Structure 1
């Protein structure tokens, strides 16, 4: 059996990439984003994007996505979600310029362009703690964005908390937010994993059935991780 037609290839360069994500909009345009690391050649770092309007056969030239600081170099970990009601793509990302805060950036599917610097950058979490690993989703029934992320009190604190926040109904495309809510397994071992930047995997000491998970809004049943080396 033949391989068939190879898909179109995204723009290439002499640099490393990480944190790729891809999404379709309502018009069938494919939007891809990734983190570019070009320190070795003195180029520009940061999140780049490319789009395809022919089902991935060809792609536009890679273009830097402006970040909240305007440097185009401080953002990483881009994650995409489509607002199907407005044909707008939202990207949650970590802005590392100031220690690690979580922002949103908006892509307009009508104009096929990112919002200009200073426009469409929504500060979601900007505390003095280390915030990382953002994710974003859109719920059409409530016309709301949901954003999640990890928060560490400091770079050496392996006990992370998972946070989430929801945009207020009726405020898109310029969302306002309810309060961030912290989720933590109440009876899990204090350290179940180490932050992703630590080189040595951490092994929890026990496996525990948790009967409660405390948040500001809900209580349910969850399980702590089994005793095993955790991935870095």
Structure 2
């Protein structure tokens, strides 16, 4: 993640009037369904009463500690607190985690007692569907149901996007957008879709991000149909694709 963007996010308010105004939530239509986008990076599918989150990467700092990088293992608690708030805010009855929920498979065993108890409470408050990712392909017994992918209401929910797909919701690539405002660039995680593929930003507290104009996204979206919504601290900022810059 570009740390400079964190300090400049208030500058997003300077977007010109031809961009829609910032809001605490934003709504988009995808695949014939309406999704409410939240500043946390979650998407609420009201018709299904389902909260969609991607790339939690729980226990990432614990995983780093195993390689000798001794970092405070508080990322899991921060991410779970964010989930608690979103469940409270939306009243979601189902949580669909779109893969890479844990940074490594062994993260399901390294949870601190407090985090394990908090996660248990969350899985009792809502039905959980854990979709497998490239970081955490193995099923676990932490509550809920572990699946490879999910088909619901004509949409396919999975971890990795597939070029040429239609009606697919995924994560994996940690999308971010960079825009130029008053001669300065701002980069933030974002929701992005082109009517065929919808990508959610990474939800985890310590996840990075990748510019959607970079090579990892080449050939994935139709540029002429692109819709981008950037995350602010507590606001969402839909921006025109013509404002996007690389880097």
Q: TM-score, normalised by structure 2?
A: 0.23
Task: Write 1 or 2 for the structure with the bigger share of helix.
Answer: 2
* Higher RCO (CA-CA < 8 Å; seq separation 6+): 2
Q: TM-score, normalised by structure 1?
A: 0.24
